[in-house]
Chains A and B, each alone.
Chain A
Amino acid sequence: MSQGPDEKGHFEEFGGRFMPEALIAELDELTAVWTEAMAEPDFTAEFQRMLTEYANVPSRLYDATRLSAQAGARILLKREDLNHTGAHKIRNVLGQALLAKRMGKTRMIAETGAGQHGVATATAAAYLGLDCVVYMGEVDTERQALNVARMRLLGAEVVAVKSGSRTLKDAINEAIRDWVATVEHTAYCFGTAAGPHPFPAMVRDFCRGIGDEARAQCLELTGALPDIVTACVGGGSNAIGMFTAFLDDTDVRIYGFEAGGEGVETPRHAATIVAGEVGVLHGARTYVLQDEDGQTVESHSISAGLDYPGVGPQHAYLARSGRASYEAVTDAEAMDALALLARTEGIICAIESAHAVAGSLRLAKENPGTTILVNLSGRGDKDMGTTTDWFGLGEAGK
């Protein structure tokens, strides 16, 4: 199979559409409008214009020489942290917001975990003049108060979700409940390359510029393709955005790093592909953290953006087919890498992205002298509360 999916959204056994009938007509229409738009040069040019003029894309590829010297391999960082709003997420939301306008929608809803996708959606809504409601688990609104304030300043309504585990998966549930009742005028701006067809493929296509740009930038900088490409994987939008350009380059090895939390041997992790089992969650068949009865199990990660018990179905497929490898990185490994990157390169990345850096340092040890292309998907300002607590940076006398 090529990159897929088939017309019903299947990446072989993964993906598909397990959703209430009330939403199927809308998902069909969205699929049709998206497919039609992507084939129109005017639409793709407008999308690219917005990315360039508004979001500061293409992002730079940075040759991290001081980190490389410590790592033992040449590390190239795709600086998605320098995009407007501070992460790759702006690519996806600008694409979906443009589609929402095309479909005549006046309102966008979104779920958010760390708040990055919520901020990006609120930003795109403000930019394009759409009403915006963001669903966020109550637990996350407390640990990401800064992003709540940013969304409100941007004019979005933030709803604290009090059901279930009060985190990202419950925010998705609540957004779907809203959408069932408001679908006539509301677009659901889904935050990752997961969920029912067409979201996994559509979000991938809006994010694939990451890899397309990085591939060309790497060729220009080094005269060759990288030996290894890496990204962190929660739902998997930054990763699939990076990987897509390299899937047909069979000599390039591809690694996704999941949140190992306190260790995959403990119950406190979010390593869905590494330690989950096949099931259906939020509309797609994929790997899921679940119990014996198929109830979703709460995930854990120090990084709110990776704290999700499911994963995009194309990643499940790439893992099963062996084209990409997925490994877990613990909270502690990620935080060590975050500190090392800050001290060697003067870059404070998001804790999500630090998982990709940590995994890449591990690969560098195993593959000295290689070139490793890392998607640095977001910046770390939003995480400074967590980072301060982790390293004791706020303590007197330090």
Chain B
Amino acid sequence: MSTSTAFEKTRAEGRAALVGYLPAGFPDVPGSITAMKAMVDAGCDVIEIGLPYSDPVMDGPTIQAAAQRALDGGVRTKDVLAAVEAVAATGTPTLVMTYWNPIERYGVERFATDLANAGGAGLITPDLTPDSGAEWIAAADAQDLDKVFLVAPSSTDQRLAMTTAACRGFVYATAVMGVTGARASTSELAGPLVARAKQTTSLPIGVGLGVSNGDQAAEVASYADAVIVGSAFVRTLLDAPDLAAGEKALRALTEDLAAGVRRG
């Protein structure tokens, strides 16, 4: 199921979408599924499931810590696909966010096929740009999957146009020059980047990196089509004494963010 179904709904409601991220396998595979279902239930419009990787160069300490715990717990690529199947079954579009090597190792076509069969919407690829991604683009197109590539404040106009032209589903705009992690204030770079991206595509533009509360979500929602939240969810689950408390805290955070995207 493409994320376009979620954006049709949020556009009809005149608001931005809330995209929530958690890595699969943290605190364990069933626990991560429970947590993501709670986020769906409390108002996330799209779920991104992180595939934990040993060398996550775009992630700050929070997501690194969760991914490392998932890997220490023995999470496998097939567990990520199982998590996709469970979350997508709720009817909420579910993407996988992954560094490239695990996909190449699994087999690009095989992964695309298994992701589609699990009901997944597509992939977000933080270290694969379209000009290096011909194999993934072909496999995704064959399986009718979303291809979410990233644009950055440093992207040239030419690269911006090339990247958004290769995207399907939405475009992921990184709001800051930096790695993932909650930040006290949202970035001044995000608004201009969204405006530049919009000149090149009619696809929705999601903004990620740094958003951690409803007020920040409202601010981003005023100029973007989706507010992407990762580290704040992961931090909430990391800080919880147990899964039940974590689930409760995730619901509260989701509701705050969901109210935020409706104010924006």
Contacts and interface: CB of A to CB of B under 8 A. Distances in A.
Interface of A: 8, 16-26, 28, 163-164, 169-170, 173, 176-177, 180-181, 183-184, 279-283, 288, 290, 292-296
Contacts of A169: 55
Given A18-B127, A26-B154, A294 B55 contact: no
Contact of B55 (A19, A20, A26, A173): A173
A17 B132 CA distance: 7
A25 B53 CA distance: 25
Contacts of A283: 127
A396 to B, nearest CB: 42
B208 to A, nearest CB: 12
For the complex of A and B, the 10 pairs showing the least CB-CB separation, nearest first, are A294-B105, A22-B152, A181-B178, A294-B102, A294-B101, A296-B54, A176-B57, A295-B54, A280-B101, A25-B154
Contacts of A293: 76-77, 102, 105-106
Contacts of A18: 100, 127-128, 132
A63 B95 CA distance: 62
A177 B64 CA distance: 12
Contact of A24 (B76, B101, B129): B129
A181 to B, nearest CB: 4
Contacts of B58: 20, 177, 180
Interface string B79-111: 000000000000000000000111111100000
Interface in B169-228: 174, 176-179
A163 B68 contact: yes
B155 interface: yes
Interface of B: 53-61, 64, 68, 71, 76-77, 100-106, 126-129, 131-132, 149-156, 159, 163, 174, 176-179
A295 B54 CA distance: 6
Contacts of A294: 53, 77, 101-106
B71 to A, nearest CB: 7
B178 A21 contact: no
Contacts of A22: 150, 152-155, 174, 177
Contact of A16 (B54, B132, B174, B178): B132
A181 B179 contact: yes
B101 A21 contact: no
A177 B188 CA distance: 20
9 contacts: A18-B128, A20-B58, A22-B155, A177-B57, A180-B177, A181-B179, A183-B177, A283-B127, A295-B54
Contacts of A279: 101, 104-105
A372 B68 CA distance: 46
Contacts of A183: 154, 177
Contacts of B150: 20-22
Contacts of A177: 57-60, 178-179
A171 to B, nearest CB: 11
A181 B58 CA distance: 10
A181 B55 CA distance: 18
Given A21-B151, A25-B154, A177-B179, A292 B105 contact: yes
Contacts of A290: 101, 105
A14 to B, nearest CB: 13
A350 B184 CA distance: 47
A17 B129 CA distance: 9
A295 B71 contact: yes
A173 B53 contact: no
B155 A280 contact: no
A23 B159 CA distance: 12
Given A18-B100, A25-B159, A163-B68, A296 B55 contact: yes
A14 B68 CA distance: 28
Given A163-B64, A177-B179, 4 more contacts: A25-B155, A280-B100, A293-B106, A294-B103
A282 B55 contact: yes
Contact of A180 (B71, B106, B129, B179): B179
B54 A164 contact: yes
Contact of B127 (A20, A28, A170, A181): A20
A176 B60 CA distance: 11
Given A18-B132, A22-B177, A180-B177, A173 B56 contact: yes
Nearest to B153: A22
A163 B68 CA distance: 9
Contacts of A176: 57
A21 B105 contact: no
Nearest to A26: B154
A313 to B, nearest CB: 13
B173 to A, nearest CB: 10
Contacts of B149: 21
A180 B178 contact: yes
Nearest to A182: B177
A8 B133 CA distance: 13
Contacts of A164: 54-55, 64, 68
